[in-house]
Amino acid sequence: MEFTMQIHGISRDLIDLLRSVGADRHPLEFVGVLREEDGIIHELNLLPGTISGEHSASLFVDMMPLDLHVVGSAHSHPNGVIRPSNADLLFFPRVGRFHFIIGYPYGGNDWGCFRADGTRVDMEVIG
C-alpha cells in the first residue's frame, strides 16, 4: 500500500524563505528537503553533510528523516536557469514528488515546481 497525500500548495512564507536562502548562499547552490502538513508544503530541512558548490549541491539521502511528510526537495540555480538539469532528473525521484528550483536573482517569480520526471507543475502559493 502506497501512502500518497493531496498537496494543495506551498506556503508564501516558505517560498520567501527559499528565495532568501538562495540569495544568501549565492553564488553557491543550496539543497534541502521539503515537508508538508495538512496538504501545504511549509518546511525546509537542511540536512547534515550537505555539500554546496557553484555548479551543484548534493545531500546524502541516507541523512533524510524517515518521515511520511517529506514531499520533495528545493534547491537553487545560481545561473538563473529555472528548469531541471540532467543531474536534477537523476536526483528528484529519490526524494519525493515535488521539486522546487529557485533561480537567480531570487525575485518573486524566479522559481518553478517540477515532478520527478522534470514536468513543470503549477503550484499554488498559499498565505
Q: Tell me the pLDDT tens digit for each residue of 63-112.
A: 566 676 889 999 999 999 999 999 999 999 999 999 999 999 999 999 99
Choosing from 29, 43, 54, 124, which is the catalytic residue? 29
Q: Which pTM value belongs to this model?
A: 0.90
Q: Is 124 a catalytic residue?
A: no
- In sequence order, the 6+-apart residues with CB closer than 8 A to the CB of 116 are 89, 92, 93, 96, 97, 99
Distance CA(84)–CA(90), nearest Å, equals: 10
Domains of the chain (ranges plus CATH)?
9-126 (3.40.140.10)
The pLDDT, as a whole number, for residue 43 is: 96
Nearest to 13 by CA among 125, 107, 113: 125
